[in-house]
Amino acid sequence: MKRFIYWFRNDLRLHDNEGLLKATQKADEVLPVFVFDPRLFGKNSLGFRKTGVYRARFIIESVADLRASLRKAGSDLLVRVGEPERVLAELAQNYDVDELHLSKEIAQEETDVESSLSKRLKQLNVDMAFTWMSTLYHVRDLPFAINRLPDVFTDFRKVVEKNATVRPTVSTPEGVELPRADYEAGEIPTLEELGFAEEEIVDLDPKGVLDFQGGETAGLRRLHDYLWESDNIASYKETRNGMLGPDYSSKFSAWLSLGCLSPRRIYEEVKKYEAERTANDSTYWLIFELLWRDFFHFVMLRWGTRLFKPSGLKLEKDKRWRHDRDLFEKWKTGQTGVPFVDANMREIVATGFMSNRGRQNVASFLAHDLGLDWTWGAAWFESLLIDYDVCSNWGNWNYVAGVGNDPRQDRYFNQYSQATRYDAEGEYVKYWLPELGKVPADKIHRVWQLTPDEQQEHGVILGRDYPLPIVEADKWLKQK
């Protein structure tokens, strides 16, 4: 009689879950477990939570959805709060488990937990079995050794597209046979139980792009809607740089990051859509973007902790980053006096989401215009983003801050030209900065130039209703 634990990590789904499938095929009984690790909800050295309330809620919803699906399948999900390495070793001992199965993670904190758990399990003679699951292309199918990962994304993409194939999704386990022994299923903790104070527990602003709901069920629904219901995927390439509303990009990221959606499932669904409806540049481009996601996962695998340090992948030691808390606070709260930056920063604070266009711009502004330590910005994103993914977040920040490995990339964004290009009518800025609601479109992205008379006329007094810029902003107009 073989009894295994299956530890769910960032793979909160039943579809295309190879690790779970293998465990159920090999064992007579499987104990599915999820552990809320309090260390992930605590505060960092900058004084804010590593996982803020929006993502915490999304995780809770995802776990609840997984539990409901497992219960429907005649099984259950054990839920615990504590340090996974301790909790799981204890469960393994109490239930006389033979093996513990789990997905492979690659970033420092996650692999530290793996090592610590492995030491404890060794003493109990319990084996650990890892499955690689988070990327579109399997790490073993890469046509190069990981220490030969190309520095430049395009080189990576070309060689992968030419020489590797995406493995097919695996089937959903038919049944997950629970141990016959008595067990305590455990309650899913509330936000309060995870340490959030009453005033921190705020709802997502309904003005957000989507009412993000955690879990595999909602993730699969979004996949279905974006492809089959709305056909939005067929115009993805033209709309992906938008910033308003649910349709401009897929919004799959939140479900991908917790593994509620499998990238291979998305891939197969897109292929099916191409066969049955349309195959065009847009359908290709969505897969192309999933390759960016893969790229940053492999960058993390190759470079590890370098991604979290100000010197970055490049080991850029000469650059001096500023550590000015006041400036940082202004950036965080959207009070820089640069409307395009402020609108984006207010959006992420209110909703836990920001478009890719916005992320690139506010990151460039923090690192290059303010000269602030970019790791602070990355930490703020980590706290707020519902779709936070350790590899994509820290990888993208490295590249925008100019400490990535790509010699060809100049990631300086001119805020004025970006704003006039991607928000020509100022609709986005007005949406998040209602105090600028009456400023005409041709002036809104250089609002700091309004004369006193114009300020009166357009109902905004600079320095009172809206801040004056904290950088010399006219430089962008001269560069244009």
Ligand X SMILES: Cc1cc2nc3c(=O)[nH]c(=O)nc-3n(C[C@H](O)[C@H](O)[C@H](O)COP(=O)(O)OP(=O)(O)OC[C@H]3O[C@@H](n4cnc5c(N)ncnc54)[C@H](O)[C@@H]3O)c2cc1C
Q: Which residues bind ligand X (CB under 6 A)?
A: 240, 249-253, 256-257, 286, 289-290, 292-293, 296, 355-356, 359-360, 363, 381, 385, 387-389, 392-393, 396-397, 400
291 marked as part of a ligand binding site: yes
Phi, psi (rounded to 5 degrees) for 130: -95, 145
Q: Closer CB to ligand X, residue 84 or residue 263?
A: 263
49 has which bridge partners? 43
| Shortest Å, Cβ 65 to ligand X | 19
CA distance 434 to 467: 14
236 marked as part of a ligand binding site: yes
Per-position DSSP letters for 175-217, written without gaps between them:
-----SS-----PPPPTTTTT--GGG--PPPTTSS-----SHH
Q: Closer CB to ligand X, residue 75 or residue 336?
A: 336
Q: Are 357 and 241 in contact, with CB atoms under 8 Å apart?
A: yes
| Shortest Å, Cβ 157 to ligand X | 12
397 marked as part of a ligand binding site: no
| Shortest Å, Cβ 441 to ligand X | 25
Q: Closer CB to ligand X, residue 17 or residue 392?
A: 392
137 marked as part of a ligand binding site: no
Q: Closer CB to ligand X, residue 253 or residue 405?
A: 253
Q: Closer CB to ligand X, residue 129 or residue 287?
A: 287
Q: Are 31 and 113 in contact, with CB atoms under 8 Å apart?
A: no
267 marked as part of a ligand binding site: no
SS3 of residue 285 by DSSP: helix
468 marked as part of a ligand binding site: no
46 marked as part of a ligand binding site: no
453 marked as part of a ligand binding site: no
Nearest residue to 209 (alpha-carbon basis) of 249, 250, 245: 245
CA distance 111 to 108: 5
Q: Are 42 and 50 in contact, with CB atoms under 8 Å apart?
A: yes
CB neighbourhood size of 278 (10 A): 13
| Shortest Å, Cβ 409 to ligand X | 12
Q: Closer CB to ligand X, residue 396 or residue 455?
A: 396
Q: Are 83 and 37 in contact, with CB atoms under 8 Å apart?
A: yes
Rg (CA), the chain: 23
| Shortest Å, Cβ 28 to ligand X | 37
| Shortest Å, Cβ 200 to ligand X | 21
| Shortest Å, Cβ 313 to ligand X | 14
Q: Closer CB to ligand X, residue 178 or residue 400?
A: 400
CA distance 131 to 128: 10
Q: Closer CB to ligand X, residue 74 or residue 245?
A: 245
Nearest residue to 261 (alpha-carbon basis) of 289, 269, 5: 269
DSSP state of 78: E
80 has which bridge partners? 35
- H helix and E strand count, the chain: 20, 5
| Shortest Å, Cβ 260 to ligand X | 12
Q: Percentage helix, strand, coil, to 5, in the chain?
A: 50, 5, 40
CA distance 431 to 192: 32
247 marked as part of a ligand binding site: no
Q: Closer CB to ligand X, residue 6 or residue 365?
A: 365
292 marked as part of a ligand binding site: yes
Q: Sign of dihedral through CA atoms 25, 31, 32, 35?
A: negative
296 marked as part of a ligand binding site: yes
| Shortest Å, Cβ 286 to ligand X | 6
Phi, psi (rounded to 5 degrees) for 140: -75, -15
Nearest residue to 128 (alpha-carbon basis) of 2, 1, 4, 301: 4
311 marked as part of a ligand binding site: no
Query: Which helix (H) or strand (E) element contains residue 110?
Result: helix 108-124
Residues at the annotated binding site? 236, 249-253, 289-296, 387-389
Residues at the annotated binding site for FAD? 236, 249-253, 289-296, 387-389
